[in-house]
Structure 1
Amino acid sequence: MGGSHSAFTEQELDDYQTLTYLTKKEILHVYKRFYTLDPEKVNLDKNVKLAMDDIQKLPELKVNPFKDRICKVFSSSGDGEMTFEDFLDMMSVFSDQAPKNVKVEYAFRIYDFDEDDMISGSDLKEVVDRLTGEQNLSEEDMQQLIDNIFMEADLDDDEFLSFAEFEHVISKAPDFINSFRIRL
């Protein structure tokens, strides 16, 4: 690989810095992490698309119950495969420097499993199932939880959470930012 700095021109680094919440040093570190996921492919073409399975080898994603959704949301092709720029976008959004409103936007997209720009009861059920893992709730408890979420967050009583409603609820959750990051 040589120095990872040589992988980019100064202009490319400037552009990446302008388009992300990362410093040039952090961008180079992100490239190094991308490179280590499949050195052979990246050596041949720094703009290669890596398979979702390769991306999910990141320690932070390996244990994340939403790893497939994270990959799909940040994948420019929507299939979970990522170019370096997709990977850089993901790392930028999960960085400490990304503003809360950007993190909220991506969280909404990750939790919107059917990608209809609304979070429905079935989306919430999927979120809860993934968070609880093997300790799935009974149907009755699950419905009670979903009803409680809608009672609290569904301001227009349409049984869906719009982005604005989701953002409103998240604004009341100070720990949200801490759970939505990856250490560079």
Structure 2
Amino acid sequence: MGNASSMLTQYDIEEVQEHCSYLFSQQEIVSLYERFCQLDRSAKGFVAEDEFLSIPEYSTNPLSQRLLRMVDGLNFKEFVSFLSTFSARASLQQKIEFIFKVYDIDGKGKVSFKDLVEVLRDLTGSSMSEKQREVLI
């Protein structure tokens, strides 16, 4: 599984399924592997920041920079684990923990006023002043 151009074995598929708490079927994992290989253009065995930004929906997301710190350099198993949060089969708790990580910018285990201002800045761009953001929060 280290080389992105190699094929997945049944053992690899089962290992990835276990790692992501069986939120994806074997066929879904094979499909995700094909997509992972497309993204890993240099066949390094992980997807780099610029490769993630090649996904149009990802690059236009106002929170893409927040997500990038979570996904840069993921190998296939980590890639599937990251995507498992978006699965319809993921629990509410998994989704809440993921959203919390997006908002906990400094990684200190709490969402501070400063973290919220940063996220709001990403979402509003230049359409709001710093003062307006602070008042809103």
> What TM-score, normalized to structure 2?
0.83
Query: Share of identical aligned residues, percent?
Result: 31
**Cα deviations across residues 77-113 of structure 1 (Å, max 9, x unaligned)?**
xxx2221122111211122221121011011111111
Match of 2:32 in 1: 30
2:12 is equivalent to residue 12 of structure 1:
yes
Q: CA offsets, 1:37-71, max 9 Å, x none?
A: 134415xxxxx122111122223311112223223
Structure-to-structure mapping, 1:153-164, within 5 angstroms = none
Q: Find out whether 1:141 has 2:137 as its counterpart.
A: no
The match for 1:176 is: none
CA distance, structure 1, for counterparts of residue 50 and residue 68 of structure 2: 9
Task: Tell me, yes or no, if structure 1 residue 122 matches structure 2 residue 122.
Answer: no
Determine which structure has more spread, i.e. the larger CA radius of gyration.
1
Structure 2: which 5+ runs fail to align?
none
Tell me the TM-score normalized by structure 1: 0.64
Counterpart residue number, 2:91 = 99
Deviations 1:98-136 (A, max 9, x none): 11210110111111111111111110001111111231x
SS of 1:134's equivalent in the other structure is helix
8 Å CA contact 2:46, 2:75 repeated in 1 = yes
State the AA in 1 paired with 2:8: F
- Backbone CA RMSD of aligned residues: 2.0
Q: Contact 2:41–2:51 at 8 Å: present in 1 too?
A: no
2:57 and 2:85 mapped to 1: Cα distance? 14
